[in-house]
Structure 1
């Protein structure tokens, strides 16, 4: 759906975070300028119509004053997005964090309301863009940022945007040769809804997450894989080591595999393309072999774009790692503090522990309870556990009860904290004057914190570091 097609319809915005504000500005500005080399857009006979299109915004009580401060006489602000109110609109432009499976959304959709997101609007407006869409349960942000970094090193004007921290609609009027776009599972169906096929789709892995938003593991997987099955990318770059991806049939896509011997793959720390050794990845500044393996996905995508990945691989050494992802903050009194606040699944916590398997580690685990199964994590602790695990947050008690019998037999310390500050104190007490306090909670931050960034910043502050110095994502935008 193009923005111009909203004229004459009753339209609402649902959500007033950064994505919601970007959607508002895009609806008010209308269709973007034509991209370089494309045919000019047809000017609507009433260009002022978009500026005066009646809009209703559904937002929280705390956001009302900010929205009203815009002084937009055609904007109505409400705080109760009930099924009845949502059903009063032809189209609702929904922010990604709002689940379309909420009862009120389902009821409104059954009565004819169309729900779309900013990602769908951008793709419909920029159908000519040469896009590389990256998703996956873990690794998608690093993969997207690394892709943009290498393409820029090769002299290509590249946008880095999407779920990584810059909504696509904020760049609606901007031009780039290539678009490196991170998509969450909240956004992947939006691409299919736009009717525009991505040039390339990259999927790093798929395992359960965000079950509270999607409602079930099956629906999470279906929504995540919609980027492949429904959006039908021209080229699909897939991880051969992921069983769900390996089982897919994508007859309308040219599938390129990474992680197997005939393509880009790792042998220990050595990066290979086929039998050719290309790079020792120990100099690539991202922690953990599993993260450096994302380079295989990036280089496969670069080859798929028609460039020489091997010629660009060396530039990975100058990549600046992203914050809140196994981020070493520094060492104080013999203890190193590592911020992995982005970790929202037990699988991610296991990967983080593997990075520090040769160190004395106190793991801080727990947060918002989205119902994920921690039994696999508990089994892994029987084989190789850290020195200590401190549980916290809404699911901290559940994790603690699951770990208690394992701790007794495996011999690691297990304690329970009321908040992040007390968790750090307990971790320090267990480590003494040597080791790693690892914040890799395996759960979202909702409740005490707005998001994982706020949680990571608070962790840095409690550990004695400047939180302002750790959160910026390098390279966002177009360069």
Structure 2
């Protein structure tokens, strides 16, 4: 759906986070014909007569800010009930609002169309060469690496999406390549836009965001809609992930059938894409510490700013996408040495009193916490686990601790007691298990567990931050402050926007 198609329809916005504000500005700017760099506030005050009526559903606190805009054509409401939502033809919904909430389903049944801002951008910018990146973990690092390497290859590249810059903020910008990180909240948006991505990268798939999606099966279906339904020209998939391996085989089979039909002169419906694998012997993969493209040894990864094998796997994904885009990834691979790692992802903050502080606040699954522990497998580490409870199973994590436990584990947060109970069943006295109510208490417990011998305090909670924190960034900033580091110095994401 293009923005012009909203003309004459009853339209509402739902959510006033950064995505909601970007959608508001895009709608108002399109009405006036001005570029999106002018603020929605200026538009609201300058051209009242031409503005379409809009309704915004937001919190009471946000409503005060919104009313200060002075947009007389904007109605602000604080209760998005099924009845109110059903009064609109189109509701532009922020990504964090689940598409499976009862009021959404009820309103949709009565004819309301719910659309995300990502779908609006794709419909507006069907001309863009897009490299979409998703996955349960690794999508932000893969996206940033991909943008960094494309720029090194002389491509004017946009980096936007879930990584921290809404696409609609760049609706009128021009770029040779658009690297777009997509969360599982946004992947189906792309499929529903009717625009085929050029390249879709999926790093891995395992359970997360089960509360938003309503279960693991729907989460997987929504995540893989980027490939299975959006039909990218090239799907870049991780050969080591069982779900992706199965999906890739299905695509390869469909492509083979379509090719055979074309050879016989039989028309085929739809546009079949192709699969490019990474983490496979005939593609980009690791052999020990050496990066290979098939049999060609390309780069020694020692010294790259990418801790852990999983991050080197993200590099393999980015290089595979670059080859698919039409550039020589082998020539660009050495530029990974100048990549600036993203904050809150195994971020080494520094050392205080013999203790190294590592901020992995982005870790929101047990799988991610295990990957973090693997990086510090030879260190004397105390890991902090726990946060918002999404009902994820921690037994596989506990089983891994039997094989190679850390020096100490401190549980915390809403699901801390549940994690503690699971881990207590495997604790054998060779490592310490402690419980804390919150992050500050967990840090104190970790310090005590390490003692004068020191070691590593690793914040890799394996759970979301909701509750005491707005997001993982705020949690990481608090952790940095507790360690005696400047939170403002650790949070910048470099490379966002067009460059």
Fold match, TM over 0.5? yes
Counterparts of 1:338 and 1:364, CA distance in 2: 11
Q: 2:383 aligns with which of 358, 363, 366?
A: 363
Instruction: Say if 2:434 is the partner of 1:415.
Output: yes
Deviations 1:19-54 (A, max 9, x none): 00000001111189899xxxxxxxxxxxx7995111
Aligned equivalent of 1:188: 187
Aligned equivalent of 1:38: none
Instruction: Say if 2:249 is the partner of 1:230.
Output: no
Aligned equivalent of 1:292: 312
Aligned length: 466
- Corresponding residue SS for 1:175: coil
Distance 1:51 1:328, change over 3 A: farther
- In structure 1, stretches of 5+ residues that fail to align are 36-47
Q: 2:366 aligns with which of 346, 369, 382?
A: 346
Instruction: Say if 2:394 is the partner of 1:374.
Output: yes
Counterparts of 1:282 and 1:221, CA distance in 2: 34
Deviations 1:95-132 (A, max 9, x none): 00000100000100111100001100000000000000
- Corresponding residue SS for 1:432: helix
Distance 1:386 1:430, change over 3 A: same
Instruction: Say if 2:125 is the partner of 1:105.
Output: no
Counterparts of 1:348 and 1:441, CA distance in 2: 9
Aligned equivalent of 1:454: 474
Structure 1 residue 254: Cα displacement = 1.0
Distance 1:246 1:410, change over 3 A: farther
Structure 1 residue 244: Cα displacement = 0.3
Counterparts of 2:298 and 2:458, CA distance in 1: 32
Distance 1:51 1:435, change over 3 A: farther
Aligned equivalent of 2:327: 307
Structure 1 residue 286: Cα displacement = 1.6
Alignment of 1:36-435 (within 5 A): 51-248=50-247, 249-250=250-251, 251=254, 252-407=272-427, 409=428, 411-433=430-452, 434-435=454-455
Distance 1:391 1:264, change over 3 A: same
Structure 1 residue 452: Cα displacement = 0.1
Deviations 1:122-180 (A, max 9, x none): 00000000000000000000000000000001111000000000000000011001000
- In structure 2, stretches of 5+ residues that fail to align are 36-46, 255-271
Distance 1:370 1:130, change over 3 A: same
Would you identify which runs of 4 or more consecutive aligned residues in structure 1 move more than 4 Å?
31-35, 48-51
TM-score where L is the length of structure 2? 0.92
Aligned equivalent of 1:44: none
Counterparts of 1:168 and 1:33, CA distance in 2: 18
Structure 1 residue 333: Cα displacement = 0.3
Task: Kindly indicate whether the alpha-carbon contact (under 8 Å) linking 2:31 and 2:51 is maintained by their aligned counterparts in 1.
Answer: no
TM-score where L is the length of structure 1? 0.96
Counterparts of 1:416 and 1:237, CA distance in 2: 41
Task: Kindly indicate whether the alpha-carbon contact (under 8 Å) linking 1:133 and 1:202 is maintained by their aligned counterparts in 2.
Answer: yes
Counterparts of 1:33 and 1:225, CA distance in 2: 36
Counterparts of 2:432 and 2:372, CA distance in 1: 18
Task: Kindly indicate whether the alpha-carbon contact (under 8 Å) linking 2:31 and 2:50 is maintained by their aligned counterparts in 1.
Answer: no
Task: Kindly indicate whether the alpha-carbon contact (under 8 Å) linking 1:272 and 1:279 is maintained by their aligned counterparts in 2.
Answer: yes
Task: Kindly indicate whether the alpha-carbon contact (under 8 Å) linking 2:90 and 2:113 is maintained by their aligned counterparts in 1.
Answer: yes
